[in-house]
Amino acid sequence: MSESSQHKRFAEDVAVVTGSTRGIGERIAKRLAVEGATVVVTGRSHEAGTAVAEDIEDTGNEATFVKADMRSPPEISALFEATVDEYGSLDILVNNAAVQTETSVEETTLKDWDQVLETDFRSYWLCAKQAHRYMDRGTIVNISSNHAFSTMPSHFPYNAVKAGINGMTRAMALDFGPEIRVNTINPGWIYVDRTMAEMAEQRRQELAGIHPVGRIGKPEDIAGVATFLASDDAAFVTGASLRVDGGRGAVMQDDTLPDYRELSE
């Protein structure tokens, strides 16, 4: 079924999606819009954010861009004030903004630490607090990572933060319930510029072959799960962390696997 023929589950809802000027956040914003939501696109790039909002409006849906740096508490507050001033309500928050450093525990500097924690972790808490102020009933979806469960060298403090988001989600679900449901998505390998732009084609093919679904994920895969969790279809789901990784989390040892691409032919 195409996105254009989907039931509009979010008619009359207002959604804020952080880090939605590109990648996974952009796809989530566009999917929410297709399903009827009025979407506030936000990020640091005015040019990129305006382009995403215009793309949404070109499809006949409503969107606006509000520039905000997730490292700035005043800009976070202003984002939610602008949203409610413009639309009168808030129903959905997707915390997606993230940065990553390729540093080990020993190599990480205080600057690295502050950059990752303020963007990927503190902003999720601050955005959720703002959302709680304005939501009568609603949903929050936090985007984490499969690094919350298992990780690789030189991904600190990104991997620590992603594990923390899972715990934050549980805390929010308890403190905000029953009015607001809060859940986490833990994506695996997703084909976005940040992770794939400099990767050799051979390596991409190798990665596809070790996923039980036979491919690397797409931003649309995460958008589909995000809209499910934000919808009434997930009305009994809160405090959950859902791994969306093409089956990689089921793998104990890569050298025991067949090439799943061959099995799908």
Three-state secondary structure call for residue 74: helix
Domain ranges of the chain: 3-198+218-253
b/e sequence 75-106, b meaning 16+ C-beta within 10 Å: bbbbbbebbbeebeebbbbbbbbbbbbebeee
In which band, very low, low, confident or very high, does the pLDDT at 128 lie, cut at 50, 70 and 90?
A: very high
Give me 97's structure tokens: 């903004």
Q: Per-residue pLDDT for 4 more than 60?
A: no
Give me 231's structure tokens: 């919808």
Q: Per-residue pLDDT for 152 more than 70?
A: yes
Find where tokens 């789901």 sit.
Answer: 237
For the beta carbon of residue 134, count every other beta carbon within 10 angstroms.
18
> Which range has the worst mean pLDDT, 95-99, 106-110, 255-259?
255-259
Selection from 157, 156, 239, 149 nearest residue 188 by Cα: 149
Catalytic residues: 158
Residue 260, pLDDT score:
87
Residue 3, pLDDT score:
46
Averaged confidence pLDDT in the chain: 93
Number of helices followed by number of strands (H, E) in the chain = 10, 7
In which band, very low, low, confident or very high, does the pLDDT at 1 lie, cut at 50, 70 and 90?
A: very low
Quick one: fold of 3-198+218-253? Rossmann fold (3.40.50)
Residue 141, pLDDT score:
98
